[in-house]
Amino acid sequence: MKNQKRDFISEAIVEYDGLPAEEQGKLLIQVLEDQPYLMGFITNVAEEFSDSQHEALVESLLILTNAFIAATVPVGMVPAQLIEEIIKLKTDVDEESIEVEEVELSDSPKVFEDLRARAVLKSDLAEAKAEVQLSFNLMLDVIITAVERVVDYEISQLEKAKK
């Protein structure tokens, strides 16, 4: 029998959606403490989105963090400077030539696809204007990229410590 890879994102989505509101609230508080800069970034873009779309961004961070924890991968605090660098990197494109369907923003397309699909189901994103969808995609990609870069750094530090 083949050794199958676990899909921690899908599992984390199912687990999060199955949590009672009280447990989701506790998770939110924990992530607020652990990721103040990333949560601040998400809070700062709240006005660009409907309440349900903004909630989907927050929940995407909670789910992503839980997926790494479930995979026993350390998630360090995302620094503000890293968020700024990623935003600059991701927004340094010719906006005239972009269409929502053509953009493949993410370095992790499967994670992006799963979290975006959940956002479409849980919010009014499907009915949003193309510019809002594109902005949502960008914000989601910034969140994913920031967390993954910090995780990569944490793993490299653990590997150095083992040597």
* pLDDT tier at 92, thresholds 50, 70, 90: confident
Give the tens place of pLDDT for each residue, 120-157. 999 999 999 999 999 999 999 999 999 999 999 999 98
CA dihedral for 122, 58, 76, 80, sign (positive or negative): positive
Q: Specify the pLDDT at position 127.
A: 95
CA–CA separation, 139 and 137 (whole Å): 6
Three-state DSSP class for residue 64: helix
Give the tens place of pLDDT for each residue, 18-59. 999 999 999 999 999 999 999 999 999 999 999 999 999 999
Q: Specify the pLDDT at position 103.
A: 44
Among residues 90, 70, 72, 62, which one has the least CA distance to residue 147?
Answer: 62
C-alpha pair distances (Å), 1 with each of 4, 5: 9, 12
Evaluate whether 142 touches 106 at the Cβ level (below 8 Å): no
Among residues 111, 6, 116, which one has the least CA distance to residue 57?
Answer: 116
Measured from the Cβ of residue 139, the count of other Cβ atoms closer than 10 Å reads 22
Taking the domains of the chain in order of start, what are their residue ranges? 8-162
Length of the chain (residues): 163
Concatenating the DSSP letter of every residue in 24-63 gives: HHHHHHHHHHH-HHHHHHHHHTGGGS-HHHHHHHHHHHHH
